[in-house]
Structure 1
Amino acid sequence: MKAVTWRGVDEIGVEEVPDPTIVNRGDIVVEVGLSATCGSDLHLMGGFVPAMRAGDVLGHEFMGTVAEVGPDVTNHRVGDRVVVVSFISCGKCWYCQQGLFSLCDNGNPNPGLTEALWGQAIGGCFGYSHALGGWAGSHARFIRVPYADQGAFTIPDDVSDERALFASDAAPTGWTGAHQAGVQPGDVVAVWGAGGVGQMAARKAVLMGAERVVVVDRFDNRLEQVRTHIGAETLDYEQVDVPAALREVTGGRGPDVCIEAVLERMSRGEEVRTEHLATHVMPLEDGPKGYRMFKEKEDGCIRAVFRPGA
């Protein structure tokens, strides 16, 4: 099958790679419907994340249809539409039981690399170097998903592919930022960065009852998305003195909460619209072009999204 791969620093390619198969009894194989670029991929492109190898398949934010099911999988059947969490966790180890899924003891089969580099083993992530497990990424026709009952979630029939896609990473990352920042009803919240994650953090703050949410960026198309789709105020840091402007809108005291989102469980009742983030949808063969557009923000690109079946 064809896949978008890392070939070297600032070099992205499209090449043939082996089809994935069921390896462990809790695996599923997903036929990828949509797979998005992410700001954290730019670290891989620039060579700032160790243990990348030429030919590694990129991509960690995706949704698709279950194509194969391991014998121990209970939550999914062939034909189900699913969105998959970008970090890989078993759901059973001590860290997972504490809700610290990105530190899962079993999600990263190469813990020695991060222990040596950073002094602590962390969990695994799709398409994010051999330091995080060497798992093949989602910019491909098919992907193997381990611990599927833990990390894959069935998409309700009334939720579109485009909306479900960003529940894999951008939406929960932004929501976690607002949650961990402790936003309270009546707060004034300032969010730096109007990319996908910044927009989701701002939307979560709105839904948590913030009195005012102000998003800071410099790209007109991003700021327009914030005003149109998120329901927040905006500041262009190239046009105004941001600290002075924030003091002005808060009576001189400044924001109650600040969230930095420069770079990056939706429920059916706490509705969040994310389709607008997929500004450029293209076939897998355009992978290098998509990453270039995303990195350079060409043509107002917020996220390039690949459709492997196109």
Structure 2
Amino acid sequence: MKALVWHGRNDVRIDNVPDPKIKEPTDVILKITSTAICGSDLHIVDGIVPTMEKGDILGHEFMGEVVEAGREVKKFKVGDRVVVPFTIACGNCEYCDDTLYSLCDNSNPNPEKAKANLGHSISGIFGYSHMLGGFDGGQAEYVRVPYADVGPIKVPSTLSDDQSLFLSDIFPTGYMAAENADIKRGDTVAIWGCGPVGQFAIQSAFMLGAERVIAIDSVKERLDMAKQHSRVELIRTTDRDDVYEKLMEMTNGKGPDSCIDAVGAEAHGDTFIGKAVDKTKEVLQLPMSRPYVLQQIMMSCKKAGTVSIPGVYIGMVNEIPFGAAMNKALTFKMGQTHVQRYLKPLLDKIDEGLIDPGFIITHRMKLDEAPKAYDLFKKKEDNCVKVVLTP
């Protein structure tokens, strides 16, 4: 089959690779019908995700049709159309019992690599390094899905791929980010980043009762998309001083009740020091996460406010104003998304017409064009916000 394969930093290619096979009786094999490029995939391309190996198949946002099922699979049969969570969970450990699926004890076959890099093992993740299981991803023609009865959800024939695909990651991630922000009716929520997760965090914050949502970004097409699909207020700059001053002005000096970091590890700095750190990281290929959004959030959030972090961080984060966070009594909530927890309720919202997640798509390309699509997405060319690939 054809698949998008990692060969090294800034080097991804379409290769011919062996078709996946059933390894465990709880597996299914999917024929991919739609797959997408996630912003966190760029962390892999940029070389800041450790334990990648040449030949790894990328991609963790995908859906498709069941073409083979293991003998112990009970929920699905050949021909079923399903969307798959990016997190892989066993369904039986203490974390799964508490619906903390991304912290699953059993789905990651490489716990020692995870512990060496993260301190503890967490769940396996499709197409996202060997510390997270070394599972083949879904930017391919076919993929093996472990623990099939725990992860995927059947998609009704009334919903298109465009409506359903983003249940795999970015819609639940944006929703959990808003949920973690502890939004109370009437609150003001500030969201850094209007990329795909940010877009769904904006939508979800309003769903959960926010009176005002303020979105911060400097990319015009992202800001315009957010405004087109909601009543969000915009700050069209990422300059540290400007963002702080505008937020204080918009909240009468109080600061937002909750702040969401939908940017993560590769935020861009606006100071000389920030640019120097970015350049050093680029030259030395260091797995450094950039602190610029966290810096702004810790200074801007109101006293006793809540900070939600869905943005992915890798390795160390230096130069954050932790004293401000401590003295202002900020609460932090973060983590990989417990996607399985949200699949049914969010599928119901789509089915009821409360949201159509397909609004996020700006580009459709064939799987063969995936390297070009990555380049387009990374460079933010041609007003690219979200790319969907079809085999």
Q: TM-score, normalised by structure 1?
A: 0.95
Structure 2 residue matching 1:205: 3-state secondary structure: helix
Give CA-to-partner distance per residue, 1:246-298, whole Å, 9 cap, x none.
22322332211111101552132362222122211111111110110111111
The aligned residue for residue 248 of structure 1 is 249
Following superposition, the deviation at residue 44 of structure 1 comes to 1.0
Matches within 5 A, 1:174-189: 174-189=174-189
Give CA-to-partner distance per residue, 1:197-254, whole Å, 9 cap, x none.
0111111110111111111111111111101123322210169922222223223322
Matches within 5 A, 1:101-250: 101-237=101-237, 241-250=242-251
The aligned residue for residue 70 of structure 2 is 70
Tell me, yes or no, if the aligned pair for 2:117 and 2:131 is still in contact at 8 Å: no
1:300 to 2:383 alignment: yes
Tell me, yes or no, if the aligned pair for 1:293 and 1:304 is still in contact at 8 Å: no
Report the aligned-residue RMSD. 1.5
Counterpart of 1:272 (choices 351, 355, 359) is 355
Matches within 5 A, 1:20-31: 20-31=20-31
1:261 to 2:276 alignment: no
Following superposition, the deviation at residue 18 of structure 1 comes to 0.6
Structure 1 range deviating more: 228-237 or 131-140 = 228-237
The aligned residue for residue 2 of structure 1 is 2
Cα distance between partner residues in 2 of 1:111 and 1:287:
31
Change (3 A) 1:157 1:120: same
Structure 2 residue matching 1:179: 3-state secondary structure: helix
Structure 2 residue matching 1:241: 3-state secondary structure: helix
Give CA-to-partner distance per residue, 1:163-204, whole Å, 9 cap, x none.
211110011111111101101110011100000101111111
Q: Please list every run of 5 or more consecutive structure 1 residues that lacks an aligned counterpart in the other structure.
A: none
Cα distance between partner residues in 1 of 2:139 and 2:347:
26
Tell me, yes or no, if the aligned pair for 1:127 and 1:138 is still in contact at 8 Å: yes
Structure 1 residue matching 2:105: 3-state secondary structure: coil
Structure 1 residue matching 2:78: 3-state secondary structure: coil
Cα distance between partner residues in 2 of 1:160 and 1:234:
31
1:285 to 2:368 alignment: yes
Cα distance between partner residues in 2 of 1:135 and 1:118:
18
Tell me, yes or no, if the aligned pair for 1:206 and 1:232 is still in contact at 8 Å: no
Tell me, yes or no, if the aligned pair for 2:186 and 2:211 is still in contact at 8 Å: yes
Cα distance between partner residues in 2 of 1:230 and 1:301:
19
Q: Please list every run of 5 or more consecutive structure 2 residues that lacks an aligned counterpart in the other structure.
A: 265-310, 312-341
The structure with the greater share of residues assigned to strand is 1
Tell me, yes or no, if the aligned pair for 1:2 and 1:140 is still in contact at 8 Å: yes
Matches within 5 A, 1:95-106: 95-106=95-106
Following superposition, the deviation at residue 118 of structure 1 comes to 2.7
Change (3 A) 1:255 1:107: same
Letter of the 1:303 counterpart: K
Letter of the 1:219 counterpart: V
Following superposition, the deviation at residue 156 of structure 1 comes to 2.1
Letter of the 1:247 counterpart: M
The aligned residue for residue 334 of structure 2 is none
Tell me, yes or no, if the aligned pair for 2:7 and 2:53 is still in contact at 8 Å: yes
Cα distance between partner residues in 1 of 2:210 and 2:135:
39
Q: How many residue pairs get matched?
A: 308
Structure 2 residue matching 1:272: 3-state secondary structure: coil
